[in-house]
Amino acid sequence: MERTLSIVKPDGVGANLIGEVLRRFEENGISVVALRMIHLSKKQAEGFYHVHRERPFFGSLTDFMSSGPCVVMVLEGEEAISRVRAIMGATNPEEADPGTIRKDFASGIEKNIVHGSDSPESAAYEIGYFFNQLEINSR
Ligand code: GDP
């Protein structure tokens, strides 16, 4: 069993896609074990995406991520990290496979509906950024 951190980003929440994103994970055997809605401050968004702080899009990305509420969740399942990313699709929706969340709903490379941790190390950091042990209800 593996855990990963996923986010329905402000564009996904704004488009009423919370249920659609959850459905796509759950129908693939990925379980939600913690979940919360949160409106990140700019500082909190910067802390979450600190690995990208030198990238040219960091200011724009953290403005977007703090522009409205997100749904943050811990997901659990066999190979959850890679499977969640496969369900999400490529960062750029133009390069995403058909049937992925980003191909179906993302409006661009930045406003791409959903986040999923990309490695065990980032999953550990990202889960701990939002949730403590008592809030995670392992199956
Ligand atoms: P992810 O793991 O697929 O989410 O992609 P990355 O870790 O590379 O980037 C994190 C987030 O930054 C992406 O999901 C996008 O929201 C945003 N992003 C990535 N690349 C770009 C870019 O070239 N331009 C802009 N404006 N945003 C980007």
Report whether residue 60 contacts ligand 1, using a CB cutoff of 6 Å: yes
User: What does DSSP assign to residue 30?
Assistant: P
Pocket test for ligand 1, best of 50, 109, 119, 122 (most atoms within 8 A of CB): 109
Alpha-carbon radius of gyration of the chain: 14
Pairwise CA distance, residues 88 & 122, whole Å: 17
Between CA 116 and CA 130, with CA 59 as vertex, the angle to 5 degrees is 40
pLDDT tens track for 43-86:
999 999 999 999 999 999 999 999 999 999 999 999 999 999 99
User: What does DSSP assign to residue 116?
Assistant: E
Between CA 6 and CA 49, with CA 136 as vertex, the angle to 5 degrees is 35
Q: What percent of the chain clears pLDDT 90, i.e. is strictly above it?
A: 99
Q: What is the structure's pLDDT at 115? A: 98
Q: What is the structure's pLDDT at 63? A: 98
Active site residue 50: no
Q: What is the pTM of this model?
A: 0.98
